[in-house]
Structure 1
């Protein structure tokens, strides 16, 4: 099977289901118990999803063998700085390379927006996410914000489209 990663509005049925699954997983892991439907609904209320569309951001959906199985987003914080957010791969599709493909898709769009640095925050318990970011060139830095659930911060400097960052 292969991955197809496309830009999609974050409120389409497939994107909404992926965002719900993302929130369910991160909330359930944080609370060390299954999140309730009410908690998921509450967590997705006023969560900034409206910023995941042009001109303030982007949202991508990954389909594995035609099934919506992954997502990621980016929000512009400044004209040249974006925040990577909502990176998620459904459990049954993990280990298939989706994470790297999602990051590449978001980074490509970020470059087209003029973003030169992507940053993100994550938590202690999201070990797999931290490993993914490090593997794909994100470096851990000092705190970038004081968000409630932020415990680790990463940045990646993006070379302009078409330029090799190593040259």
Structure 2
């Protein structure tokens, strides 16, 4: 049995903002090869306004341990151009949550949330340097696909029909 709970939380909550800083720091190191600047972090946060990951068109999920400590997060939003397609956003597993299957747990929770929002398909994008993400997606039924309305430093795009396990 997992040693965490995954529940919706507002992406703008203070401790979630702290975690988003850690997320952007790690993405900067791994994707850009350097720390993300404060300007880059602010730009990334404002490029994806909170309402995209909030009801009625999205959801932000947070995983916490039994003491309430943050372990991971993932968001989902319906694509404006195709509301039957959801997009996985801001998936991050804190180092304290790694190695116990939490990434898969968050991915499955996002898929369930996407279905609840009415999506029939889910897409995501990632970077070549994020090998763990690409492995997680392919192991869970995602297939590489053509780019969609993505952005940033992505060079891999994945999709999965939500009527399949």
Q: TM-score, normalised by structure 1?
A: 0.87
Task: State yes or no: 1:120 paired with 2:111.
Answer: no
TM-superposed CA distance for 1:138, in Å, is 1.0
Q: Which residue in the other structure is 1:162 paired with?
A: none
| Equivalent residue pairs, number | 161
Q: TM-score, normalised by structure 2?
A: 0.88
Which of 64, 68, 71 is residue 70 of structure 2 equivalent to? 68
Q: Mark the runs of 5 or more structure 1 residues left unpaired by the alignment.
A: 160-164
Q: Kindly indicate whether the alpha-carbon contact (under 8 Å) linking 2:10 and 2:54 is maintained by their aligned counterparts in 1.
A: yes
Q: Runs ≥4 in structure 1, deviation > 4 angstroms?
A: none
Q: Which residue in the other structure is 1:34 paired with?
A: 35
> 1:103-142 to 2 correspondence within 5 Å?
103-142=107-146
Deviates most, 91-100 or 51-60: 91-100
Q: Which residue in the other structure is 1:53 paired with?
A: 54
Q: Mark the runs of 5 or more structure 2 residues left unpaired by the alignment.
A: none
Q: Which residue in the other structure is 2:147 paired with?
A: 143
Q: Kindly indicate whether the alpha-carbon contact (under 8 Å) linking 1:52 and 1:58 is maintained by their aligned counterparts in 2.
A: yes
Closer/same/farther in 2, CA of residues 20 and 109 from structure 1, 3 Å limit: same
Deviates most, 127-136 or 47-56: 47-56
The CA distance in 2 between the partners of 1:46 and 1:146, in whole Å, is 12
